[in-house]
């Protein structure tokens, strides 16, 4: 049984989501604000969080940011506002979906099902060996081989390579790479990313071609299946 955490300062909203989620076979816990949600996430594991943005004590964006420092839990944000800025900011934080109030509980449940299925599928895929021509990454063992010869990467170089591959063919800004790999509290700049990309490319030999520079933006791992 999948376990949801529903975070909203409106009891009626939490009640409606709980009713539909439990009917669909989910286990549900509730939190009335971001601070409570953060505390629960430190103590428990959840398969998905449904999080309102506008809440007292700690808003949804801030709570999501803090939770992602300790656990990778897929998140759907709820908001009474539908501004593009809010959506883009949420996706930059790493949320999985965004639902504007008032919403259809049935549609929300459909989105919950999609996000959980996608997240579980990605987790299962991570338990494998990834191959891109002569470049091979053993994810569980955290090893990288080039044409059958193992190459030594630093932990951050490996994290950077796997993150690029996990987001294959997606443009990633330097800021996003810094925040998602080094963390929001890291004190650094674009040169940190550029230096690690340079070292990573040197280790990958001819397969450095897969790491593409996007001038004025950042980088992406480009590979057509």
Q: Give the pLDDT confidence of 68-81 residue by residue, as tens digits.
A: 888 889 999 998 87
d(CA 131, CA 129): 7
Is the pLDDT at 204 greater than 90, yes or no?
yes
Are 121 and 209 contained in the same domain? no
Are 156 and 94 contained in the same domain? no
Report for 167-171, 188-192, 221-225: range of highest mean pLDDT: 167-171
Could you say which of 97, 125, 153 is where a domain stops? Answer: 125
Are 26 and 92 contained in the same domain? yes
Q: What is the pLDDT of residue 124?
A: 60
Are 84 and 187 contained in the same domain? no
Q: For position 94, which CATH number holds? A: 3.40.50.2300
- Mean of pLDDT values over 110-117: 89
Are 138 and 112 contained in the same domain? no
Could you say which of 69, 104, 125 is where a domain stops? Answer: 125
With tokens 């932990």, the residue in question is 155
d(CA 134, CA 127): 19
Are 114 and 186 contained in the same domain? no
Is the pLDDT at 142 greater than 90, yes or no?
no
d(CA 62, CA 130): 34
Are 106 and 187 contained in the same domain? no
Is the pLDDT at 13 greater than 90, yes or no?
yes
Give me the chain's average pLDDT, please. Answer: 88
Are 157 and 56 contained in the same domain? no
With tokens 């883009």, the residue in question is 88
Beta-carbon contacts of residue 130 (< 8 Å; ≥ 6 apart) = 136, 137, 139, 165
Q: Mind spelling out the 3-state secondary structure of the chain?
A: CCEEEEECCCHHHHHHHHHHHHHCCCEEEEECCHHHHHHHHHHCCCCEEEEECCCCCCCHHHHHHHHHHHCCCCEEEEECCCCHHHHHHHHHHCCCEEEECCCCHHHHHHHHHHHHHHHHHHHHHCCCEEEECCEEEECCCCEEEECCEEECCCHHHHHHHHHHHHCCCCCEEHHHHHHHHHCCCCCCCHHHHHHHHHHHHHHHHHHHHHEEEECCCEEEECCCC
Are 99 and 162 contained in the same domain? no
Q: For position 157, which CATH number holds? A: 1.10.10.10
* Best CA proximity match to 60, nearest among 82, 38, 84: 38
Contacts 24+ apart (CB under 8 A), 214-219: 214/171, 217/171, 217/173, 218/171, 218/172, 218/173, 218/174, 218/175, 218/176, 218/177, 218/193, 219/164, 219/172, 219/174, 219/177, 219/193
Pairing state between β 75-79 and 97-100: parallel
Q: What is the pLDDT of residue 213?
A: 95
Could you say which of 82, 101, 125 is where a domain stops? Answer: 125
Work out how many domains the chain is built from and give that number.
2
Q: What is the pLDDT of residue 200?
A: 94
pTM of the model: 0.56
Are 117 and 22 contained in the same domain? yes
Are 115 and 8 contained in the same domain? yes
d(CA 136, CA 144): 6
Q: Residue 102 sits in which domain range?
A: 3-125
d(CA 87, CA 99): 9
Are 133 and 121 contained in the same domain? no
């Amino acid at each position: 049984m999948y376990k949801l955490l529903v975070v909203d300062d409106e009891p009626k909203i939490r009640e409606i989501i709980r009713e539909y989620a439990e009917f669909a076979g989910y286990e549900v816990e509730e939190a009335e604000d971001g601070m409570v949600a953060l505390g629960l996430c430190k103590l428990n594991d959840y398969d998905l969080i449904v999080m309102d943005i506008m809440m007292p004590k700690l808003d949804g964006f801030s709570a999501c940011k803090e939770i992602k420092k300790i656990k990778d839990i897929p998140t759907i944000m709820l908001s009474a506002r539908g501004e593009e800025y809010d959506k883009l900011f949420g996706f930059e934080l790493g949320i999985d979906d965004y639902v504007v109030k008032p919403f259809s509980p049935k549609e929300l449940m459909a989105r919950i099902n999609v996000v959980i299925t996608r997240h579980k599928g990605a987790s299962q895929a991570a338990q494998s060996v990834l191959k891109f021509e002569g470049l091979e990454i053993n994810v569980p063992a955290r090893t990288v081989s080039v044409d059958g010869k193992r190459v030594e990467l630093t932990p951050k170089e490996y994290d950077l390579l796997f993150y690029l591959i996990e987001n294959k063919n997606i443009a990633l800004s330097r800021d996003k790479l810094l925040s998602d790999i080094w963390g929001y509290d890291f004190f650094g700049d674009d040169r940190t990313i550029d230096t690690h990309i340079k070292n990573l490319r040197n280790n990958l030999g001819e397969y450095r071609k897969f790491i593409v520079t996007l001038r004025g933006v950042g980088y992406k791992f480009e590979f057509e299946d």
